[in-house]
Amino acid sequence: MDASTASFPRRPTRRIEVGSVPVGDGAPVTVQSMTTTKTSDVEGTLAQIYALAAAGCDIVRCTCNEAEAAEGLAHIVPRSPVPVIADIHHNHKMALAALDAGVQGLRLNPGNIRRPEHIKTVASEARDRQVPIRIGVNGGSLDPSLYEKYGNTVTPEAMVESALMELDYFAQVDFDLVKISVKASNVPLMVEAYRQLADATDVPLHLGVTEAGPLPEGYIKATAGIATLLAEGIGDTIRYSLTADPVEEARAGRVLLESLGLRERTDIDLIACPSCGRAEVDVIKVAEDARAALAGRDLPLQVAVMGCVVNGPGEARDADLGIAAGRGRGHLFVKGQNVAVVAESEMVEQLVEWAEYISEHGTEAALARVDTAKAAREAEKDRASLLGEQGEDANASAQKVEIIQRHLSG
């Protein structure tokens, strides 16, 4: 999906290539994460990288903080299924070693690699090898001079200035394969910093709320910042910085991009009602069972689990497939059309069977294999029965219309 077909207009940027993965200039927004293993543990790190790639990670970052880590990268990079970026702090020689190891990208923190000659040396080597660098500004580790300039506090202006100073050093050695991040743990601060940076440069931007924390709060905080900016067209690559298994970061990033229409769906999108007093089954359990049964099958479908046969099929009519639970049985529907009434004990099993059939043969073929008129009549019996007991819907629309008509005619 490119800028012309995305759900949100994308900010025009330059394009860089991280290995074989394009970033910026309308390329699909990419998902990144970082390994938590010791990089010197080659097999352990590769196992985690493969798990991240399977969860939707496009680019992975590994720490390079010591000679053993750089040596590990030399073995990891050729075997990695996705491009590897070396994360560098304090010691610019580690960046040079990582380049020798063959990494497809570097991340430098301008807050702790400050000497211009060191920065230019790394940029020159990266230029000669055509390896991109991310300028990774972090609100918690700015250059002391910037803290002083901006009143000993972190401001969006200070973060943007830090990034632009580094960008200028790169320009002095004719290096422009750059992307930038200005991360902070404070969401409003992070959002404003990225907005200002987007106005100041056309460099691709890597989004993230640093130190978002454990689940579920970390999901919420990271999504609040990242999704806000993506909806404004800002952002070319993202990372959820969670205190959790990094696989959770990759999954979260992928789900967010698919939800915003910025990446094609690759697996089940399960939608489900929150349940209410009208439900005749445990909707939460059915939804959880369905998610577990359908996950990882590479079925790019939207599947609905609804707790009410009265409103469920209508509310989820755009789903590829769904089940609306009634009393002891459920109404299975495809694109809003009833196709079967199944026993409660078979609902999840039938969802899986129909999802696989639709994925392989298509919606029209799925509808053609049943008598939809007969299924609709059978479903209507259940619906009519519940209507008599529970009313038309949660808003009592018919009753309200009757009252309005009485008032208007009085």
Specify which residues 25 forms β-bridges with. none
Q: What is the pTM of this model?
A: 0.87
Would you state the pLDDT for residue 3?
39
Closest CA to 239 of 283, 297, 181: 181
Fold adopted by 269-390 = Sulfite Reductase Hemoprotein; domain 1 (3.30.413)
pLDDT in tens, the chain (410 residues): 443 345 678 999 999 999 999 999 999 999 999 999 999 999 999 999 999 999 999 999 999 999 999 999 999 999 999 999 999 999 999 999 999 999 999 999 999 999 999 999 999 999 999 999 999 999 888 988 998 999 999 999 999 999 999 999 999 999 999 999 999 999 999 999 999 999 999 999 999 999 999 999 999 999 999 999 999 999 999 999 999 999 999 999 999 999 999 999 888 999 988 877 666 788 889 999 999 999 888 899 999 998 876 666 677 788 999 998 877 788 899 998 889 988 989 999 999 999 999 999 999 999 999 888 887 777 676 666 655 555 555 445 566 777 777 778 76
CA angle in degrees (0–180, nearest 5) for 338-339-344: 90
Fold adopted by 16-259 = TIM Barrel (3.20.20)
Specify which residues 331 forms β-bridges with. 324, 341
Q: Where are the domains of the chain?
A: 16-259, 269-390
Closest CA to 29 of 8, 54, 51: 8
Would you state the pLDDT for residue 1?
40
Would you state the pLDDT for residue 384?
66
Contact 191, 231 (CB under 8 A): no
Would you state the pLDDT for residue 209?
97
Closest CA to 129 of 172, 95, 168, 179: 95
Question: From CA 328, how far away is CA 312, in angstroms rounded?
Answer: 16
